[in-house]
Amino acid sequence: MPTSLYGAQFNLNYQYLRTTLYSEYDVMDQDAIIASALDIIADECTLKNDMGEVVQIRSSNEDIQKILYNLFYDVLNIEFNGWMWVRQMCKYGDFFLKLEIAEKFGVYNVIPYTAYHIERIEGANPNNPAEVKFK
């Protein structure tokens, strides 16, 4: 059974490796072929359907459908932001959004975070060793 010291050391090594890999991904993105491939993937993932929507929202509950439509199209602005979010997710392998939430209004804003500024924390909870948090 690994000790907490082992887990802490592994986490430090992992954080260093993540940052190093992200730097390499940035360099790779300067290659014309790789950049074009990422652009094509983002294009294909954010194509509009025959109704002119990037995300089609269907629900038997009309209220849920309206709320989700408001979230994706008015708050997240998926038609404008989706392309870059998909491209970044494909480039780095992960992507992080912080949702700003007000109790009475729900989600009112979204803030994208670069992968460089997020730290993955594993093994910090002795009651749940499989728990993963992002900070």
Length of the chain in terms of residues written: 135
Domain residue ranges of the chain, discontinuous segments joined by +? 4-134
pLDDT tier at 58, thresholds 50, 70, 90: very high
E-assigned strand segments in 25-116 = 96-102, 106-113
pLDDT at position 65: 95
pLDDT of the residue at 68: 95
Report the mean per-residue pLDDT for the chain. 88
pTM of the model: 0.78
CB-based contacts of 128, cutoff 8 Å, min separation 6 = none
Neighbours of 85 (CB within 10 A): 19
* Closest C-alpha to 92, from 7, 40, 34: 34
Residue 5 pLDDT: 47
Residue with more model confidence, 88 or 4: 88
Q: CA–CA separation, 89 vs 97, rounded Å? A: 11
